[in-house]
Amino acid sequence: MSRADALIVSVEDVRRIANFEELTAHSHADLRQPPQGDLNAPGPCRAAGTSDVTFGSGWSEFRSAGYHGITDDLKPGGPAMIQSVSQAVAVYPDSHTARGALHQLESSLQACIDLHDADYDFALDKPDPSTLRITAEAWSHVYREKSSVLISVGVVGLEPAERIATAILQTTTDRLG
């Protein structure tokens, strides 16, 4: 098992953290390199979420996983609510390179916010020097750099999204020692 593989939190653990048994693993999210950013998004906004722009260049190992559920117990004929937890880790040759990726991500996310694009209406804050957090209604995405690894965790449609994302992020961080 690679270092990146060992850092991914299992679907069973994520179900427990999120208190949502209906989450299932989706193979399309199990990747060894970051997916291409949304080409329709404004340039700096392509960094939001998990994409090739999020992690930049210079990483030596990458792994992502995604778990999804669908709730259709809303009003008849109403839209189904999708629950999703995504996580990704990129391992860099050294902490300096990983920190550089986090700083570039912060710059891109701030530039995205500064565009005031309605499709990318989120708040950005930095709970500590190694952590970034973007939030919107029913949605949270957190990033952390530690020990030459950049970690990304996103939660959509599960509440409290921020608490769930932070708990998964902390589980991964704890595995780094």
Q: Which of 35-49, 64-78, 87-101, 131-145 has the lowest mean pLDDT?
A: 64-78
Question: What digits encode the pLDDT tens for the residues 7-58?
Answer: 999 999 999 999 999 999 988 899 999 998 888 999 999 999 889 999 999 9
Q: 3-175 is classed in which CATH architecture?
A: 3-Layer(aba) Sandwich (3.40)
Question: What digits encode the pLDDT tens for the residues 49-83?
Answer: 889 999 999 999 999 999 999 765 555 655 556 89
pTM: 0.92
DSSP for 83-151, written as a single string: EEEEEEEEE-SSHHHHHHHHHHHHHHHHHHHHHT-GGG--EEEEEETTEEEEEETTEEEEEEEETTEEE
Q: Count CB neighbours of 93 within 10 A.
A: 12
CA distance 36 to 59: 15
Question: What digits encode the pLDDT tens for the residues 148-169?
Answer: 999 999 999 999 999 999 999 9
171 touches 13 (CB < 8 A): yes
